[in-house]
């Protein structure tokens, strides 16, 4: 019965496409394609191929599986708008979800009663785009910005801008994510203390709203849509073009890691370093992150081969044999290579004195300094190298019960005591990031919610559930541990906010957005009144009529 209902709904949806854009294909023919290929429907690549459906039914979290009715491979914003318009005007409305590289979790880019729009040109396994693709990034050197398709991966944006000696200012740690995907959340990494998140570095967007309209928005034009879409979890429309701010790209990076056994010294140094954001480049680092080490094995294997395998770092040797938790501060300094024809080497070349002057003000364990120099692009793409190693061992495509929290500065010491030194014990199954950001670098008109303090920390438990036979690596154990962390925060009054949020009740979503909920709901009713967009986020229930004001959850 379920299969028959699904086919009937898809047939009905395609019939609406036929009515809307004047197509002549018999929709039942699409259902008979089986595993053949995508069907060209009035210029739209609408696929019911089983491999496409299977790919769109899973995400990086691998925690849920939801198969869509069909997959659209768009070649333009018009393709996206045509499909969304059909969904919006249909008497029997169907849903639309945009999928980039498939790196989201908790089914946030999935739908079981509609169409997934595959915005990015290749999947996690590197499969190529079906049909024609939108144009490549277009760099404007003089104005220092780049126009990119919403499904473009950041690694490809970087490659395009570097050809002009330019690069975006703010990044995510992993570059194989889509532009539209990260801008729908925020997009953060170690540059955020200085440049703000990626959403703070956008000049303009083209968005297909939930009504099927293509609108250009910016600070000056359609401002409610502009600020709503940035960090809006895909609720108001699909980003088809983004205009990203650029800066001159450095050539190389001095990458430094130092260790701490004292948490207050660690956070004190991090907070000092991000307070330098207004200083000249020579007087600050370009990137500030950190991570927690509760498992000795992780210090030599965290995300990259940073430390030499021939000289592994031992927690016991650094921590005086006392065991316990260590903290690693990760910082970088960008620079240009010295050449014979460099006119002003003093301004262009990194000097050891700059780094030494900054390090002298920090309180790390003096014997723990590890430094390496590498090309700028290699540093930015560092996580991909770790990905390739994990893939080769079958350790990448596993469940990822991640938990990402923004923790207010005033309670980070309590979080350390209760979580890092308490709940987590001395074993974990993946990296734990921790680094502070300046709230004044975040535009509060966006949809993103942050703690109500001038400085707050990202704490990211990026664990992987492994089938090792050990309970501590199991999905059940890690998921339960996440619940313990959240319960601890609730019991002790630590007012955390979720990054990449996922909730199942309207009360939880309203609590998450706080005083932003009213505007968030108002924007939803204006730009997606039938609630057809991004239903995998489970914020609003699908509306049967365009005039409905239903606020119920799925």
Could you give all domains of the chain from N- to C-terminal order, each with its CATH number? 21-118 (3.30.43.10), 138-248 (3.30.465.10), 252-498 (3.40.462.10)
Do the beta carbons of residue 102 and residue 58 sit within 8 Å?
yes
Q: Can you give the pLDDT at residue 294?
A: 84
Nearest-angstrom CA–CA distance, 134 and 155: 16
Do the beta carbons of residue 52 and residue 79 sit within 8 Å?
no
CA–CA distance from 224 to each of 27, 101, 206, 218, 520 (Å)? 38, 27, 13, 9, 10
128: DSSP letter: P
CA–CA distance from 40 to each of 35, 249, 412 (Å)? 15, 41, 54
The residue to which tokens 């440049």 are assigned: 195
DSSP string across 214-261: EEEEESSSSHHHHHHHTTSTTSSEEEEEEEEEEEEPPSEEEEEEEEES
419: DSSP letter: I
Do the beta carbons of residue 71 and residue 50 sit within 8 Å?
no
Beta bridge partners of 73: 45
The residue to which tokens 């780094």 are assigned: 355
Do the beta carbons of residue 546 and residue 88 sit within 8 Å?
yes
19-27 — which CB contacts under 8 Å span 24+ positions? 20/82, 20/85, 20/86, 20/89, 21/82, 21/86
Q: Can you give the pLDDT at residue 212?
A: 97
Strands across the sheet containing 70-73: 39-41, 44-47, 70-73, 114-118, 95-99
Q: Can you give the pLDDT at residue 57?
A: 93
Distant-in-sequence, close-in-space partners of 396: CB < 8 Å, separation ≥ 6 = 387, 390
259 half-sphere exposure, CB direction, 13 A CA radius: 21
Of 458, 535, 551, the C-alpha closest to 93 is 535
Do the beta carbons of residue 85 and residue 212 sit within 8 Å?
yes
How many other β-carbons are positioned within 10 Å of the β-carbon of residue 230? 27
79: DSSP letter: H
Question: Would you name the residues annotated as active-site residues?
Answer: 103, 173, 289
Measured at the CA of 384, the angle between CA 256 and CA 169, to 5 degrees, comes to 60
Instruction: pLDDT tens for the chain, 554 residues: list them.
Output: 455 455 545 555 554 554 444 443 333 333 333 333 344 444 566 899 999 999 999 999 889 899 999 999 999 999 999 999 999 998 888 899 999 999 988 888 899 889 999 999 754 334 444 445 688 999 999 999 999 999 999 999 999 999 999 999 999 999 999 999 999 999 999 999 999 999 999 999 999 999 999 999 999 999 999 999 999 999 999 999 999 999 999 999 999 999 999 999 999 999 999 999 999 999 999 999 999 998 655 554 544 445 544 455 555 556 544 457 999 999 999 998 765 454 445 434 556 889 999 999 999 999 999 999 999 999 999 999 989 998 998 889 999 999 999 999 999 999 999 999 999 987 777 899 999 999 999 999 999 999 999 999 999 999 999 888 788 889 999 999 999 999 999 999 999 999 999 998 889 999 999 999 999 999 999 999 999 999 999 999 887 654 333 333 33
Q: Can you give the pLDDT at residue 118?
A: 95
């Amino acid at each position: 019965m379920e299969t028959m209902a699904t086919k009937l709904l898809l047939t009905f949806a395609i019939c609406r496409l036929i009515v809307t854009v004047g197509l002549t294909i018999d929709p039942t023919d699409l259902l008979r394609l089986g595993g053949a290929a995508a069907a060209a429907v009035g210029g739209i690549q609408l696929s019911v191929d089983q491999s496409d459906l299977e790919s769109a039914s899973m995400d990086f979290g691998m925690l849920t599986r939801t198969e869509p009715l069909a997959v659209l491979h768009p070649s333009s914003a018009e393709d996206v708008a045509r499909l969304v318009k059909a969904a919006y005007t249909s008497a029997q409305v169907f849903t639309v979800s945009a999928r980039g590289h498939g790196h989201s979790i908790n089914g946030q880019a999935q739908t079981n009663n509609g169409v997934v729009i595959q915005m990015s040109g290749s999947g996690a396994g590197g499969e190529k785009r079906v049909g024609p693709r939108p144009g490549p990034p277009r760099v404007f050197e003089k104005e220092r910005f780049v126009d990119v398709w919403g499904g473009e991966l950041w690694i490809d944006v970087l490659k395009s801008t570097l050809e002009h000696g330019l690069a975006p200012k703010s990044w995510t740690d992993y570059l194989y994510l889509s532009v539209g995907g990260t801008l729908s959340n925020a997009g953060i990494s170690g540059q955020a203390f200085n440049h703000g998140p990626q959403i703070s570095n956008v000049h303009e967007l083209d968005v297909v709203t939930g009504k099927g309209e293509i609108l250009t928005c910016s600070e000056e034009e359609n401002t409610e849509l502009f600020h709503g879409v940035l960090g809006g979890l895909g609720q108001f429309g699909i980003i088809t073009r983004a205009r990203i701010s650029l800066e001159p790209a450095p050539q190389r990076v001095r990458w430094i890691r130092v260790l701490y056994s004292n948490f207050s010294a660690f956070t004190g140094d991090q907070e000092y370093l991000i307070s330098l954001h207004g200083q000249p480049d020579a007087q600050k680092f370009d990137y500030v992150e950190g991570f927690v080490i509760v498992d000795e094995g992780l210090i030599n294997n965290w995300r990259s081969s940073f430390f030499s395998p021939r000289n592994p770092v031992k927690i016991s040797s650094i921590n005086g044999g006392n065991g316990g938790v260590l903290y690693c501060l990760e910082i970088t300094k960008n620079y240009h290579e010295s050449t014979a024809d460099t006119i002003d080497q003093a301004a262009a070349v990194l000097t050891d004195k700059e780094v030494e002057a900054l390090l002298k003000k920090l309180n790390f364990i003096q014997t723990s300094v590890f430094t390496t120099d590498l090309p700028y692009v290699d540093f930015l793409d560092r996580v991909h190298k770790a990905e390739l190693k994990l893939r080769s061992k079958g350790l990448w495509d596993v469940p990822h019960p991640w938990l990402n929290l923004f923790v207010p500065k005033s309670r980070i010491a309590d979080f350390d005591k209760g979580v890092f030194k308490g709940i987590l014990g001395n074993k974990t199954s993946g990296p734990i990031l921790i680094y502070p950001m300046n709230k004044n670098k975040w535009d509060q008109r966006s949809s993103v919610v942050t703690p109500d303090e001038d400085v707050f920390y990202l704490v990211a438990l990026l664990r992987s559930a492994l089938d090792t036979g050990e309970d501590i690596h199991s999905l059940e154990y890690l998921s339960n541990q996440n619940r313990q962390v959240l319960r601890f925060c609730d019991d002790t009054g630590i007012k955390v906010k979720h990054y990449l949020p996922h909730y199942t009740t309207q009360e939880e979503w309203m609590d998450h957005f706080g005083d932003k909920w009213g505007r968030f709901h108002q924007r939803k009713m204006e730009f997606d009144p039938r609630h057809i967009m991004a239903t995998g986020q489970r914020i609003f229930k699908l509306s049967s009529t365009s005039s409905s004001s239903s606020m119920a959850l799925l």
